[in-house]
Amino acid sequence: MDLVAGVRKEGSRGGRNEFKWSDVKDSTHRENYLGHSVMAPVGRWQQGRDLQWYAKGDVDDEEERLRKEREERQQVKNAEEEAMARALGLPLPPTAEGGNANMPETSIDLEIEVSWQRYSSTPAALSLPV
């Protein structure tokens, strides 16, 4: 008995040139194909719908995109200037937004005041000569 002499299974054994999503759409085994619901949609729920909505980028106009690019370049430039100043030991350039964007100035002042009160009320702080 020779198993290699004849073809064991009939049909296509693969190949890009022979593959068609329309064949998958008509197949009873379409669920076995990865991406079948998008590439070979079957049923009423797909009609008139954008099935590839997730692959599309945000819809921004050209001016908005250019503005974002300019802001990003400016942020990188500011960060590079600050890093260079730190490396050279120069004073840091002033920033318009302050130290911490997540903490407003009033919160910083309040934290400093609370910390000073805590420090000044400790016995070690009272015994230090001024």
Q: How many domains is the chain partitioned into structurally? A: 2
Residue 126 burial (10 A CB sphere; 0-12, 13-18, 19+): exposed
What's the confidence (pLDDT) of residue 31?
85
Residue 108 confidence class, pLDDT cut points 50, 70, 90: low
* Domain coverage including residue 70: 62-123
Residues 46 and 99 in one domain: no
Higher model confidence: residue 77 or residue 8? 77
Using CA atoms, how far apart are residues 79 and 75, in angstroms rounded to an integer? Answer: 6
Residues 48 and 81 in one domain: no
Q: Residue 80 domain-assigned?
A: yes
Average pLDDT (20-39) is 84
pTM score, whole prediction: 0.33
In the predicted model, is pLDDT for residue 77 greater than 90? yes
In the predicted model, is pLDDT for residue 72 greater than 90? yes
Residue 62 confidence class, pLDDT cut points 50, 70, 90: confident
Domain end, chosen from 38, 55, 72, is at: 55
